[in-house]
Amino acid sequence: MLFLLPSNNVTFHNTETKPLIVGGLPNSRGVVATCSYEARAFGVHSVMPSSTALRLCPHAIFVKSRFDAYRDVSEQIQTIFKEYTELVEPVSLDEAYLDVTTIDHFNHSATRIAQDIIQKIKQKTQLTASAGISYNKFLAKIASDINKPNGLFTITPNKDPNLLNNYPSVNSMVSAKLLNKKYTL
């Protein structure tokens, strides 16, 4: 997630290199909303029961979600997006699709636009962001996961179809069709 963890790290200092889990506390019926890469190394992931996360990573720091803070940061980031395009489709507090096909800035380069957005998010919020660029939302989502955290990746129609084979939900036939532009989502 884009900003849930850094927003909590502001409150819980010196947690950058420790396993951090945001969500319900382990002695409740809560679940993990998100977790740091340090916690993920122990098998912790979103939507997992917090009690299971504690068993997998007993030295993790658990913090409750701070939705008001997340909403405030989300609004700041949405404002940044709208500096580039009005065609913003929010998916969640920390994720959105932007259609920049008609933007004249940066010589119509979606990659350069994304780089500028990432930089502006860092300047205005002190948070990192990742971006995925492609010709459809499905591939843009996959691209955004490739160089996390604080990364950028572009999937063009001429990318190697085997690129998507590392994703269990994408079989090789779907991968080839998507990358050959026979189908778009």
Instruction: Using alpha carbons, list the distances in angstroms from residue 111 to 61, 123, 152, 158.
Output: 36, 18, 8, 16
Give me the pLDDT at residue 184, please: 42
- Looking at the fold, whether 40 and 125 belong to one and the same domain comes out as no
Average confidence score pLDDT of the chain: 81
**Residue of 75, 86, 89, 95 with catalytic role:** 95
Give me the pLDDT at residue 155, please: 87
- Looking at the fold, whether 127 and 164 belong to one and the same domain comes out as yes
Q: What's the CA gap between 139 and 161, in Å, rounded? A: 12
Residue 38 has pLDDT above 70, yes or no: yes
Give me the pLDDT at residue 104, please: 84
Please give the structure tokens belonging to residue 124: 């205005």
- Give yes or no for a contact between 153 and 143, defined as CB atoms under 8 angstroms apart: yes
- Looking at the fold, whether 51 and 77 belong to one and the same domain comes out as no
Catalytic site includes residue 16: no
Per-residue pLDDT, averaged over 93-113, amounts to 89
Residue 73 has pLDDT above 80, yes or no: yes
Q: What's the CA gap between 172 and 34, in Å, rounded? A: 30
In a domain, 185, yes or no: no
Q: Which of 34, 50, 65 is the last residue of a domain?
A: 65
pLDDT: which is higher, 29 or 54: 54
- Looking at the fold, whether 58 and 108 belong to one and the same domain comes out as no
Residue 23: which domain range?
Answer: 4-65
Q: What's the CA gap between 20 and 18, in Å, rounded? A: 6
Backbone angles phi, psi at 131, to 5 degrees: -135, 145
pLDDT tens, 123-178?
998 888 999 999 889 889 888 888 777 889 998 887 766 676 666 556 555 655 66
Give me the pLDDT at residue 59, please: 95
